[in-house]
Structure 1
């Protein structure tokens, strides 16, 4: 039986706390320090295509879907110059089926969260990339596409988000914070944008 995300999972926001004594970051890894927000660059689309080809060549049919998400996927939106990609595999917990192949094309595993839809993150340095690995049943995949497509279609929302990003980056840089703290600073604006998108799509009611 195929298990699909429930509506409440798609329209709610929570990341479970790691089990006691566990960290999502592998030894030697951690959130990136420093926050750089760059103006939109059309080379980002080409970087995604390069990385997607590397992933597809490495995994073949085990890569069920490869999506460009995050701010670099939205034209005219300033972003950290790091390509965000969602990769769907049959079971993220079966790391031996995809991690070694991705390592051969320059990725390395930095995050392991089996308690959160099997989420893994692998990083690539040139071009810079955060590769998010989920199973096909993760609501995060739907969330990410909704956010991307809503911003692509609504210039006013892009302007709201761009301003929030610039303010959060300036505050995080002044406080010498890492990227997770920067993300927390813009979280309220992200949720407001999501709510407008969910409402317009009929997923929630005002």
Structure 2
């Protein structure tokens, strides 16, 4: 199953995107609709609300008077907490039921207006944010009968564009004509969502092929942050820490366009237990990749064991290394980026090496020649990095 979180500010037109995805076969779960269903007339949810808040929150037909309820809890934190305690567990249970009913091969779209505000991003394989210019959103709301002042107030009370950008794996601009947003959704479905779901179901890591050195991308840290949150959630208590490592974690450094991440575990046995949870989260195991080949100067691979997972998402190249806390390869993966961030000369030197080797081996689908060609530079660089660590007092972060 591929789980998608769909959100957007009021008036952004995310229902257009939800409807188009449904036309393609996605199972759409509407959080607002469920929140109304669980407190409908005759439900135990409404009975509990009435018992807690009294008959004044019911209208003449015995239904929930949402305006009266809003006035009651607006300035009363205790009342709002009690209301959430009644509604939220029921919404979560019903959502889980609908997810299960969708089936293991489904693409499920969870339409959640306040997804970003509530911090739900890590619950999904991808978050889709639908956006439109503020003035256009205001016009849409006014056309629906909302006073302009109220429209602007509601927009201002929601997450900012910057907050949504941080959360968005996919950003859809719904400010143009309807055909354009539908075309964007069609392409997204065909090129990314369908193959992503199939890769998760088949536990198929994407081939990364040869190195593609590109200029520094300001989006790398945000992509890494979203992945780290999902990995941490999938790994649970087994995750001692998760880190963005490798060249994409070094500002200003050209890099192979692959997000490298490290999950710190207590043992390789614990890493083995995470194979299925990480695969379900969209990071299946890469078979046979159980030793770090890239950097270690020692010939004994037993000193450098790890487990490697690779993204199943066609829209994002990423690798995740599971390494034991305190191991040599674990420490090195943290040391090298720290040194390169601090040493301008080393960073320029490494950039030059990467560009040269990528030009020589970039068309080779087998990356081992590229890795082997980098080894002499690492063997020379490691003592320099260790001297820097000694001189500056650098230590790996605690776990």
- What TM-score, normalized by structure 2, do the two folds share? 0.41
Q: Identify if the C-alpha distance between structure 1 residues 68 and 95 changes in structure 2 by more than 3 Å, giving closer, same or farther.
A: closer
Match of 1:160 in 2: 349
The question of whether the paired residues in 2 share the 8 Å contact of 1:45 and 1:73 is answered with yes
Unmatched 5+ stretches in structure 1: 1-27
2:330 to 126, 130, 141: 141
- In the alignment, is the contact (CA less than 8 A) between 2:224 and 2:259 conserved in 1? yes
1:96, distance to aligned residue in structure 2 (A): 5.2
Cα distance in 1, alignment partners of residues 308 and 242 from structure 2: 14
Q: Which one of 376, 379, 388 corresponds to residue 200 of structure 1?
A: 388
Q: How does 1:1-206 map to 2 (within 5 A)?
A: 32-95=208-271, 97-110=273-286, 111-113=289-291, 115=302, 117-126=304-313, 127-173=316-362, 176=364, 178-202=366-390
Structure 1 CA distance, aligned partners of 2:237 and 2:270?
A: 15
Tell me how many residue pairs correspond in the alignment. Answer: 175
Asked whether the 8 Å contact 2:235–2:274 carries over to 1, the reply is yes
Deviations 1:69-107 (A, max 9, x none): 110000010111111111111222345531111111101
Cα-to-partner distance string for 1:99-153 (whole Å, 9 max, x where unaligned): 1111111011012359455410000143211100011131111111111111001
Secondary structure of 1:106's partner?
coil
**1:167 to 1:158, Cα distance in 2 relative to 1, 3 A:** same
The secondary structure found in structure 1 opposite 2:285 is strand
Cα distance, 1:61–1:146 mapped onto 2, change above 3 Å: same
Q: What TM-score do you get using the length of structure 1 for normalisation?
A: 0.76
Question: What secondary structure does 1:109 align onto?
Answer: coil
Counterpart of 1:14 in structure 2 is none
Matching residue of 1:13: none
Compute the displacement of 1:178 (Å). 2.2
Larger relative helix fraction: 2
Distance 1:177 1:92 in 2: 29
**Structure having the higher Rg:** 2
Q: RMSD in angstroms over aligned alpha carbons? A: 2.4
Q: Contact 2:306–2:323 (CA<8 Å) still a contact in 1?
A: yes
